[in-house]
Structure 1
Amino acid sequence: MQQSLKKAIFSSVSEYTSFNTKRCRLLAGKGQNDISGSKGVAYYLHRDQRIEDNWAAIFAQNWAIENNLPLYVLAGLNSKHPESPEATRRAIDFSLGGLKEVEVDCKRLGIQFYLLTETQTPMYQRITKFMSDFNIQGIVCDFSPLKPHKTQIDLLKNEIAKMDNCCLYQVDAHNIIPVWELSPKQEPRAYETRLKVEAKFSEYFTEFPKMKEHPVPGQVKFEDTDWEKARVSVPVDETVANVTWAEPGFSKGQERLKKFISEVLEIYGEQRNDPTVDAVSNLSPWLHYGQLSAHRATIEAKKYEAKHTDSVKKFIDEIVTWKEMSDNLCFYNPNYDNLKGAPEWAQETLDKHRNDQREYVYTKQQFEDAETHDHLWNAAQIQLKVDGKMHGFMRMYWAKKILEWSKSPEEALEIALYLNDHYSLDGADANGFAGVMWSIAGVHDPPKWGERPVVGKIRWMSFEGCKRKFDIHKYIARYNKGDESEAKPIQKELSPSQPPINKFFKPSSSPNKRKGNRKVQGSWGGK
């Protein structure tokens, strides 16, 4: 049954004929015609940092043209250190790099780009101020299920609802099937989600129209953005530096997609589960920032279905089923980032075993510095810190061991989310929340794995199991210079004579590689 569902996903891409209005929803106001007197339409671009292959931008431009109005694209920075774990030099520079290319593309198309720089002001107030200053009555925003964005959009909706002749639309430009159309509720597992995807995929799997050169010029000409000024406008953790293997922007995302399809896709199906082989797409940074459309990646991969059938099936299952299930979780479950969001059986089993004796207990700092007894785990943490990315299989092992070696499941979840959001280029993402909740809290996973101390009925992963699946010696040697490749105890309170962890850092010019033929379980595994 599962195989037939996967086959059913591979319907041919349809030519674009008209905008599917189910992709958008009216959040405030009376509708598209309720903007009499407006001097423009504005698209607040948050999660999808691109102009092409962007349903929100397409909708906003069509709306502006129908009303003979100029189009403005707005963006801004929200995260600040230390309140936001993702407020790092690595993340902010990648985001700004993407927005810089958006500005260039807007200028090419005759669209005005404006960076909302008042970083001490809540985003919804920056948007309403822009509306007031330039008499903008039509606003479009893209979609994110995460609470920070959701909160700002709810506040914006409330403000616009008070205004005369103004309206706010939201367009899901991140998913192929809009999250509110895929399902009316949280889906329990990938199997059920796959059923929903199979039923609706062909309706939404269409080619994108190209953005037009905008026929109506803006009334105001904004100066080019001072990107260096923007770069230093918010406090960030400067110690989390940029990586060398991934450069930001729409064009770089397209390059990486072409590289994956031409050089990696052939072996993806068979070898994607080995952390020592380059058999994953490594697209997640561009997908996270919306600098690459998952819809576009699916279209391009689909062209090779006949040639690389198994690989294409598995890639699309990851980038559609698992990815959109992550958005489904965060959209319908307000506790997607804490144990209250776990299924009842998982809460019960973790509570039952919360007082079990732990063989090892580490602090948040020890985890962060990769100072555990397990050199395989340490290597994964170092990869995360150095590359800004961790191989999907190791990410699951990494999170599950944090559960095993923490004082409580609540602390484990907090530590895993912090480390992922702080160091990963795809951190603070629905996939990350779903992945950590899968690993630690049993989300999207049935309780059929027996019962063990500490972890209870949560699926367990072991060092010995990793040894049987791939060459751990090769992986550890790459990221844990100076350590043997066997896990062995060290003192829980580290000796002052132990070398600092940065001695073992080994920056690389490309992210880690992979092989293996076993199926990765969980939403982190396939991208």
Structure 2
Amino acid sequence: MKASTKAIVEQGRFRVLKERSKRSNQQQQCGGAVVYWMFRDQRVRDNWALIHAVDQANHFNVPVVVAFNLFDQFLGAKARQLGFMLRGLQELQSSLMETLQIPFFMFQGEAVETIPNFLRECEASLLVTDFSPLREVRKWKEEICNRVGDSVTVHEVDAHNVVPLWVASQKLEYSARTLRGKINKLLPEYLIDYPKITSPLTKWMEETPVIDWEGLIANVLSKGAEVPEIGWCEPGETAAMEVLSGSKDGFLTKRLKNYSSDRNNPLKPKGLSCLSPYLHFGQISAQRCALEARNLRKLHSQSVDSFLEELIVRRELSDNFCFYQPHYDSLLGAWEWARKTLMDHAGDKREHVYTKEQLESAKTFDPVRWMYWAKKILEWTTEPEEALSIAIYLNDKYELDGRDPSGYVGCMWSICGVHDQGWRERPVFGKIRYMNYEGCKRKFDVDGYIAYAKRLVNGSKKRKKAWLARQ
């Protein structure tokens, strides 16, 4: 299958994971549908992978279909995460058909089986997939490439990062400092507005199965009831755009001006963008967020620059780490100096040691559970390996945006000093950056934060009790 001569999506934005065989090219210039296996970027608007799929389909006069594979509690996801995702996908299915007349297929099981089977059923000639640096997803793609026929080409599109990962850097970067210049140099080329996407010229004429959304959602809520859904964050593309720039309480319209000063104050949650869940599930494009924020730089230059640093450089640094470091969730992934200092102090006496269950229940002496919780887990467990394992477990299980490169890097920064430098040596931590209760008191109103956190916890318990009573 030859590439489009005037592709809408820049060559650097996608890469070829598998080419169809020369023999297949000679026998058949174009095949059946273009299938877009959606995984990380769950949106219709501002989606380079979908744009590429439609562009390629139009070039060969074939239809486009979108396929999604639902895994059973992927990396420990519970009702909180899966309910949010499925409700967003339900909206996506309707939007996809209403605006582009593209059908949406939902599969359950192992993607290495469901996706190749579907490609054979619709005699697909091109599989388009979005990009993820996570080990599991990359293994699935490798296996799918091995299982699909010689007549299928596979393209991977980085629709998640502003600058495609493999373009930004071809190696593991040491810190934000080493990646920032490379990304900033490429922003004029890649931080551009999206082309208008229209319905494919050739329509899908086959039957599209009806999806039992109510049944799917009820099933994941039942299986993952241990971590129930939250009520403060509405899922889906529409809600994501409202959070970004809505007239009522949009980040860019109402809250951006104080971002640089308020984002690290836990007593001011509205100081944050609140976009992380939407970015994680791909319900909004980071590139769209960056474009809209950049338009406001003259009004709030410091806050816009801080936001773009977090949105682009820091997020893409996390992808870089997880892509080029296969041990992104292990002490083996730490720099040599960090591994050495942690091992040197692994046997240091801990004043407090808690079990995984105690930490999960927040049964510790420390009343503050803020951004330094992963730092304290290093101090409160018997060894660094255990600390990292528990930190990742808690993050993936409870955070809406868990199971994400930014989450893994956050835990690795806290415990293993990734993207950081060595500091003054001290017990347990060695040269890893240290944080403590007194330091928090100097930064914000600790008593006010504790009172605020207790109100949130009590409210959450009441909602969970009410939800269980209805079951």
Same fold (TM over 0.5): yes
Partner Cα separation in structure 2 for residue 77 and residue 270 of structure 1: 40
User: Which SS does the other structure have where 1:114 is aligned?
Assistant: strand
Which letter does structure 2 place at the counterpart of 1:474?
G
Q: Secondary structure at the match of 1:304?
A: coil
Q: Give the CA deviation at 1:18.
A: 3.8
Structure 2 letter corresponding to 1:132: R
Corresponding position of 2:114: 126
CA distance in 2 between counterparts of 1:182 and 1:508 reads 44
Q: How well do the aligned residues superpose, as a CA RMSD in angstroms? A: 2.0
Alignment partners' CA distance in 1, 2:237 and 2:129: 19
Maintained 8 Å contact 2:20/2:150:
no
Q: Do the aligned residues in 2 keep the contact of 1:404 with 1:454 (CA within 8 Å)?
A: yes
Q: Distance in 2 between matches of 1:288 and 1:508?
A: 26
For 1:341 and 1:236, locate their aligned partners in 2 and report how far apart those are by CA, in whole Å.
33
Does 2:42 correspond to 1:89?
Answer: no
Give the drift of 1:17.
9.5
* 2:140 corresponds to: 152
Alignment of 1:181-220 (within 5 A): 181-220=167-206
Shift of 1:106: 1.5
Measured after TM superposition, the shift of residue 135 of structure 1 is 1.1
After TM superposition, the score normalised by the length of structure 1 is 0.82
Tell me which of 209, 215, 231 is aligned to 1:229: 215
Correspondence for 1:56 among 45, 49, 54: 49
One-letter amino acid of the structure 2 residue matched with residue 245 of structure 1: W
Q: TM-score, normalised by structure 2?
A: 0.91
Partner of 1:383: none
Tell me the alpha carbon deviations over residues 120-145 of structure 1, each in whole angstroms, 9 at most, x when there is no partner: xx202100110111211210000000
Residue identity opposite 2:378 in structure 1: L
User: SS of 2:271's equivalent?
Assistant: coil
- Counterparts in 2 of 1:231 and 1:31: CA distance versus 1, 3 Å: farther
Q: In the comparison of the two structures, how many residue pairs are matched? A: 447
CA distance in 1, matches of 2:239, 2:165: 27
Matched, 1:265 2:256: yes
Q: Secondary structure, in 3 states, of the residue corresponding to 2:198?
A: coil
The 3-state SS of whatever aligns with 1:480 is helix
Asked if residue 298 in structure 1 is aligned to residue 273 in structure 2, the reply is no
- Please say if residues 7 and 55 of structure 2, whose CA atoms lie closer than 8 Å, have aligned partners that are also in contact: no
- Within the candidate set 412, 424, 436, 1:437 is matched to 412
Partner-residue secondary structure (3-state), 1:507: helix
Mean Cα deviation higher: 30-39 or 52-61: 30-39
Deviation at 1:80, TM superposition (A): 2.8
What is the distance in 2 between the residues matched to 1:31 and 1:171?
21
SS where residue 140 of structure 1 aligns? strand
With 168-177 and 148-157 compared, the bigger mean Cα shift is at 148-157
**Secondary structure class of the residue paired with 2:203:** coil
User: The residue matched to 1:125 in structure 2 has which SS?
Assistant: helix
Per-residue CA deviation, residues 28-48 of structure 1 (Å, 9 max, x unaligned), is: 114999563522100000000
**Could you tell me whether the CA contact under 8 Å between 1:245 and 1:508 is conserved in 2?**
no
**1:42-88: CA deviation from partner (whole Å, max 9, x where unpaired):** 0000000001100000000000011111100000212438xx322x0
Instruction: Give the number of the structure whose residues are more often helix, by fraction.
Output: 2
**What is the identity, as a one-letter code, of the residue corresponding to 1:62?**
D
Deviation at residue 215 of structure 1 after TM alignment = 2.3
Match of 2:105, SS? Answer: strand
* CA-CA distance at 1:229 after TM superposition: 2.5
- The aligned runs of 1:230-245 (5 Å cut-off) are 230-232=216-218, 236-245=223-232
Confirm or deny that 1:174 pairs with 2:160. yes
Q: Is the alpha carbon distance of 1:432 and 1:285 closer, same or farther for their aligned partners in structure 2, counting shifts above 3 Å?
A: same
State whether structure 2 residue 67 is matched by structure 1 residue 74: yes
Distance 1:236 1:24 in 2: 36
Q: Identify the match of residue 111 of structure 1 among 102, 119, 122.
A: 102
Unmatched runs of 5 consecutive residues or more in structure 2:
1-5, 463-471
1:41 matches 2:60: no
CA deviations 1:78-133 (Å, max 9, x no partner) are 2438xx322x011111111121122112211111111113x2xx202100110111
User: Which amino acid in structure 2 is aligned with residue 444 of structure 1?
Assistant: H
Is residue 354 from structure 1 mapped to residue 346 from structure 2 by the alignment?
yes
C-alpha distance in structure 2 between counterparts of 1:454 and 1:249, whole Å: 43
Q: Secondary structure at the match of 2:177?
A: helix
**Aligned residue for 2:449?**
475
Shift of 1:233: 5.3
State the alpha-carbon separation in 1 of the partners of residues 182 and 321 from structure 2. Answer: 14
Report the residue type matching 2:188 in the other structure: S
Contact kept? 1:43, 1:141, Cα under 8 Å: yes
1:102 matches 2:110: no
Deviation at 1:267, TM superposition (A): 0.3
Q: What is the rounded CA distance, in whole Å, between the counterparts of 1:61 and 1:236 in structure 2?
A: 36
- Contact 1:253–1:291 (Cα < 8 Å) also in 2: yes
Query: Which aligned pairs between 1:312-323 and structure 2 lie closer than 5 A?
Result: 312-323=304-315
1:357–1:255 Cα change, 3 Å: same
Q: Who is 2:324 aligned against?
A: 332
Q: 2:239 aligns with which of 252, 276, 294?
A: 252
Gap change, CA 1:452 and 1:79, over 3 Å in 2: farther
Tell me the residue number matched to 1:4: none
8 Å contact from structure 1 (residues 302, 312) kept in 2: yes
Query: Which residue of structure 2 lines up, in the alignment, with residue 506 of structure 1?
Result: 459
Percent identical: 40
Structure 2: how far apart are the matches of 1:202 and 1:89? 40
Contact 2:93–2:104 (CA under 8 A) maintained in structure 1:
yes
Name the structure, 1 or 2, with higher relative contact order (CA <8 Å, separation 6+).
1
1:210 Cα deviation after fit: 2.3
Hey, what's the Cα distance between the residues in 2 that align with 1:306 and 1:149?
Answer: 40
Cα pair distance change 1:39/1:17, threshold 3 Å: closer
* Contact 1:27/1:169 (8 A) holds in 2: yes
Whole-angstrom distance in 1 between the partners of 2:388 and 2:90: 35
Q: Equivalents in 2 of 1:151, 1:238: separation in Å? A: 29
Instruction: Judge conservation of contact 1:51–1:211 (CA < 8 Å) in 2.
Output: no
- Distance change (3 Å), C-alpha of 1:31 and 1:57: farther
Query: What pairs with 1:326-475 in structure 2 (closer than 5 Å)?
Result: 326-377=318-369, 394-395=370-371, 397-447=372-422, 449-475=423-449
1:450 is paired with a residue of what secondary structure? coil
Query: For the residues of structure 2 that align with 1:36 and 1:145, how far apart are their CA atoms?
Result: 32
Of residues 151, 168, 175, the one that matches 1:165 is 151
